[in-house]
Structure 1
């Protein structure tokens, strides 16, 4: 059985979602060790936390309890916020997610890459089953089909672009804005592209993990050394944080003035006629969990735009385009379910072919023992003819058994095998 447990921006509060994403590693380890799950994939993004698992039966309650224990969240809160989908509906949900149809900004392009990364990470951990492998491969193909056959991505929809669109009223001239980017992960590349499409040129980058120099060289940015971060924060007009972290990277202390004494100033500091109050700064937090502590808004001149605010301003999609994309997703889910059901008939097919081929080999051995050893050419022709006959006789029942499987009637094929030949398929033996 395929199970999907989903927490997203629509039915889950941001504090709860932040709690789950902040414990992604611990939750993944706990579910990997769960004895009732044959395989598991965890998808954790800025506006969703999802578990895809394969199990012998519906273990959704046990999964919720395990997440509750690991994340320190009441079971009742998780149960109310979770959407549970099984089998066909779980597959259709993942295909829609990978295609950007379940995102806060419908049609966002980053989610497809995030689904692929979750797939790769599960494969590296060794928690993928054959069924889950096919599921995620199909999700990637479906997202590409949606992208190429519809216009759902044509407007460059993404949380990054929407955040910058909301920021436009605060940025008089993008070419002159001093932008500081915190983070060098997946969202950083999309952020740089979105900034440059608006004309931003003065972009610097800081990496909490120490990768700023290499990243800056590859993207033609200015790297900010950790020792110079405070100065860069003071100089920036716009600060965009998009790093993976469990605790906020920027707090109120990073923006408050230090305690100075009169000895720290020169006479010029008190007489400079050109001095002016610090211009307002816009902070954009694209992290989940948060990269920026909301307490920074208590400081005069600082405005914070976070994911919760961005999600509330997500635009309404064109119904025709979204409808076309949803049809593609639905058809892909139907085909995936039918293909999986067809695979369920494999034990029946193996039993039938094994039975018929065993009879064939017995007859060939008998013919070889009683035949003329000097007429090898004739014996070879007879054997070839019998093998062709066997193949043709098996073709029609093989095709019919597969068809029954796609219709969800694999058990009927197994019953027929038992009634006609007195055989039990491998899954019933």
Structure 2
């Protein structure tokens, strides 16, 4: 049985999502060990979502309550949250609905910005992490691999992701009212990961040319060289922050990298350090105003002062920016919680088309999985019939079936007899009534799937899966 525990921007507060995200790496192994029925776990954690996908060793009709409660306790223990708080927040998805939910998530249909592109990569990396941790299972592998395929199909067949929509671009759209001229805007980018690359691309699309990068982990120089911008060292970051019109943060650091004291220290030492360094640079012939030779973190003219109005955009989770930055005069903070409130409405045409693709794929996945469940019984029935057939063919040969006509007739009859049971097996599996078919062949033929039939059933499973794909291609 597949189940999903989900907390997102739709049902959880930002503080809870932040706590869950910080501890996500430790959640998978803890979930796997939490209850004996949990065979596997894959955790998806993003800036607006925490989800645990579990594979339980239980039939779809069995109650998963005990395993769910233990999973919630495990997540709470890792994140330092009370189980009661999580129980009242987490959404619960089970059975065939799990595929539909994950396919929608991976396609960006459940994101703050519908159709945003980052989520597909985050879902893929979640599976990769589970593989590394040894917490995935064949069913979870199939589920997540299919989710990646569906997200690509949605992107290719609908217009939902063609505009490159993302939280980064939405943040810059919200900043438009504060920026009069992007081309003249000085930006300090804090972070060097995937979000930093997306942020830099979005800034350049708006005409920004003056971007510097700082990395708390020391990766700024490499990022700067790869992207043709200047790097800022730890001893320069306060001055660089004070001289920037916009600060964009997107690191995975678990502490605040920008706070009130950083901005205030940068402003306090700005004029003296800028004037002294600029005078030294001019006297050494190091460059002129507006050239790349000016000292990092300094404006072009020593007579200038720190910018009077600054916009700080915090895209990090956990938060990269301390709330106290708004106490600095002229500083405005735009964080993920604020961005989420202003997310645009869905574009209904593209979204409806995307949801149709997701719904059809989820139904096909569910049917194929249900047919997998019945496959051992199918193998047992076919083995029973063909064992009888082989015995009758041997007797026919012993009685002188020289031309093989009797054998041919017997094989034809066996195929005809099996046709209707095979069709009914698929129909009942799709209706969730596979046990009725299993009970029926046991009552009529005395046939039951063997305990070790999983390996023998692999061929039948492949056939059933291929049949399902052909029917839904």
Give the match for residue 218 of structure 2.
Answer: 210
Judge conservation of contact 2:189–2:213 (CA < 8 Å) in 1.
yes
Q: Tell me if 1:49 matches 2:57.
A: no
Q: Tell me if 1:153 matches 2:154.
A: no
Query: 1:350 aligned to 352, 363, 379, which one?
Result: 379
**Distance across 1 between alignment mates of 2:123 and 2:275:** 59
**Distance across 2 between alignment mates of 1:259 and 1:218:** 30
**Distance across 2 between alignment mates of 1:216 and 1:138:** 36
Give the match for residue 458 of structure 2.
Answer: none
Q: Secondary structure at the match of 1:19?
A: helix
Give the match for residue 238 of structure 2.
Answer: 230
Q: For residues 208-267 of structure 1, give each alpha carbon's deviation from its aligned partner in whole angstroms, at most 9, with x where no partner exists.
A: 333333333333332333443333323322111111132222232322227989xx8899
Q: Gaps (5+ residues) in structure 1?
A: none
Judge conservation of contact 1:182–1:240 (CA < 8 Å) in 2.
yes
Query: 2:330 aligned to 290, 301, 309, which one?
Result: 301
User: What is the total number of aligned residue pairs between the two structures?
Assistant: 420
Q: Which structure has the higher relative contact order (CA within 8 Å, separation 6+)? A: 1
Aligned alpha-carbon RMSD (Å):
3.0
Give the match for residue 39 of structure 2.
Answer: 38
**Distance across 2 between alignment mates of 1:227 and 1:97:** 41
Residue pairs, 1:275-424, within 5 angstroms: 275-276=304-305, 278-363=307-392, 370=398, 390=414, 393-424=417-448
Q: CA deviation at 1:312?
A: 0.6
Q: For residues 369-391 of structure 1, give each alpha carbon's deviation from its aligned partner in whole angstroms, at most 9, with x where no partner exists.
A: x589xx9xx69998788667655
Change (3 A) 1:277 1:118: closer
**Distance across 2 between alignment mates of 1:120 and 1:406:** 30
Segment drifting more, 227-236 vs 134-143: 227-236
Q: Secondary structure at the match of 2:10?
A: coil
Q: For residues 327-367 of structure 1, give each alpha carbon's deviation from its aligned partner in whole angstroms, at most 9, with x where no partner exists.
A: 22222222221111111110111111221233344456667
Q: Gaps (5+ residues) in structure 2?
A: 278-300, 454-473
Task: Give the TM-score of the pair, scaled to structure 1.
Answer: 0.88
**Distance across 2 between alignment mates of 1:397 and 1:409:** 14
Segment drifting more, 315-324 vs 303-312: 315-324
Give the match for residue 101 of structure 1.
Answer: 109
Change (3 A) 1:384 1:237: farther
**Distance across 2 between alignment mates of 1:238 and 1:313:** 19
Q: CA deviation at 1:311?
A: 0.5
Q: CA deviation at 1:107?
A: 1.7
**Distance across 1 between alignment mates of 2:449 and 2:276:** 92
Judge conservation of contact 1:116–1:140 (CA < 8 Å) in 2.
yes
Task: Give the TM-score of the pair, scaled to structure 2.
Answer: 0.80
Give the match for residue 147 of structure 2.
Answer: 139
Residue pairs, 1:109-124, within 5 angstroms: 109-124=117-132
Judge conservation of contact 2:244–2:307 (CA < 8 Å) in 1.
no
**Distance across 1 between alignment mates of 2:433 and 2:274:** 88
**Distance across 2 between alignment mates of 1:266 and 1:218:** 28
Judge conservation of contact 1:22–1:245 (CA < 8 Å) in 2.
no
Give the match for residue 195 of structure 2.
Answer: 187
Residue pairs, 1:157-176, within 5 angstroms: 157-176=165-184
**Distance across 2 between alignment mates of 1:124 and 1:92:** 25
Give the match for residue 78 of structure 1.
Answer: 86
Change (3 A) 1:416 1:304: same
Q: CA deviation at 1:157?
A: 2.0
Judge conservation of contact 2:260–2:322 (CA < 8 Å) in 1.
yes
Q: CA deviation at 1:45?
A: 0.3
**Distance across 2 between alignment mates of 1:406 and 1:282:** 55
